[in-house]
Amino acid sequence: MAVWQNMALLLLPLLTLGSIVSATVFTIQNSCSFTVWPGTLSGNGAGILGGGGFALFPGATIQLSAPAGWSGRFWARTGCNFDDSGHGKCSTGDCGALKCIGGGEPPVSLAEFTIASGTVDKDFYDVSLVDGYNVGIGVHPSGGSGDCQYAGCVADLIGSCPKELQVIDSAGAVVACKSACAAFNRPEFCCTGDHSTPGTCSPTEYSKMFKNACPSAYSYAYDDASSTCTCAGSNYLITFCPTN
């Protein structure tokens, strides 16, 4: 056997190991006192993690691996009922099926990621309340280098949600808190029209309420300075209903 063939065989396990190491591992944890149905959405066609959605019982965790360059989001659905074929609905975060092929219906708390690729050497991530709030969510990076900040929303915004933003279920319980954009559909709240730039779309009383409760989360569309996080070579723990 040629020397180069021997070297190729020796390198194969290392290349395989390298491909495993380079994958980003998301550990998704349910610290809520109730079952959540996490939804996943890929934003760049790099692969749908977890089949798009699954049930996660209280205290349970699941690990999902994302390839380099993956971009997408995670969110929790609550109050779901699905039949044996996976069809059904959820009280919050609904996507129309157990395995989502699109995003969750607002209001919903989001964890958003763009994983490093060959041309970008660090991950970008955030927790966003731009589409409203349904459960607390936290993102803890581990094993990475750089800023690697915590992002999240520990506060219970349902309990403090103004009446005009409340989403109430059939039993009369408040189950989510809308964004001001969804509630009023006005340019100053949605950062559209004459308010479509960072200079013309300022925080409002509603986005300030979200920001005061959850300082590291996006509260409106141009809340980049204090809400976009970066880290290199990290894995991530995503917790629903975090306590810290």
Q: What is the pLDDT of residue 66?
A: 95
Domains delineated in the chain: 24-240 (2.60.110.10)
Give percent of the chain with pLDDT exceeding 90. 80
* CA pair distance 102, 219, nearest whole angstrom: 22
Q: Which residues pair with 73 in a beta bridge?
A: 41, 112
- In this prediction, residue 120 carries a pLDDT of 76
- Mean pLDDT in residue range 199-226: 92
Cα 219 versus chain centre, distance:
14
Element (H, E) at 205: helix 205-213
Return d(Cα 115, Cα 225) in angstroms, integer.
19
Q: For residue 155, what are its two tokens?
A: 């506060």
In this model, does residue 4 exceed pLDDT 50? no
| Residue pLDDT, tens place only, 126-167 | 999 999 999 999 999 999 999 999 999 999 999 999 999 999
Higher pLDDT, 81 or 11: 81
Q: Where is 121: in which H helix or E strand? A: none
Chain CA centroid to CA 50, Å: 14
Specify the pLDDT at position 17: 37
Closest CA to 70 of 104, 43, 101: 43
* CA dihedral for 3, 4, 7, 12, sign (positive or negative): negative
Q: What is the pLDDT of residue 9?
A: 37
d(CA 114, CA 130): 18
Q: How many other C-beta atoms are found inside a 10 Å radius of the C-beta of residue 146?
A: 15
Q: Are 54 and 37 in contact (CB under 8 A)?
A: yes
Q: Are strands 174-177 and 110-114 parallel, antiparallel or unpaired?
A: unpaired
Q: What is the mean pLDDT of residues 108-117?
A: 95
What does pLDDT average to over the chain?
Answer: 89
Residue corresponding to tokens 């989360």:
217
Confidence (pLDDT) at 152:
95
The secondary structure element, H or E, covering residue 184 is helix 180-184
The pLDDT of residue 118:
74
Per-residue pLDDT band at 23 (split at 50, 70, 90): confident
Q: What is the pTM of this model?
A: 0.88
**Between 46 and 69, residue with greater pLDDT:** 69
Residues 133 and 221 sit within 8 Å (Cβ to Cβ) = no
In whole angstroms, give the CA distance from residue 117 to residue 121: 6
Does residue 12 carry a pLDDT above 70? no
Q: Which of 93, 168, 89, 171 is nearest to 132 (CA)?
A: 93
Residue 22 banded pLDDT, cuts 50, 70, 90 = low
The pLDDT of residue 6 is above 50: no
- Which tokens sit at 152? 């999240």
- Contact yes or no for 104/96 (Cβ under 8 A): no
**Predicted pLDDT of residue 170:** 87
Query: Tell me, what's the pLDDT at 2?
Result: 41
Q: Which two tokens stand for residue 188?
A: 């100053």
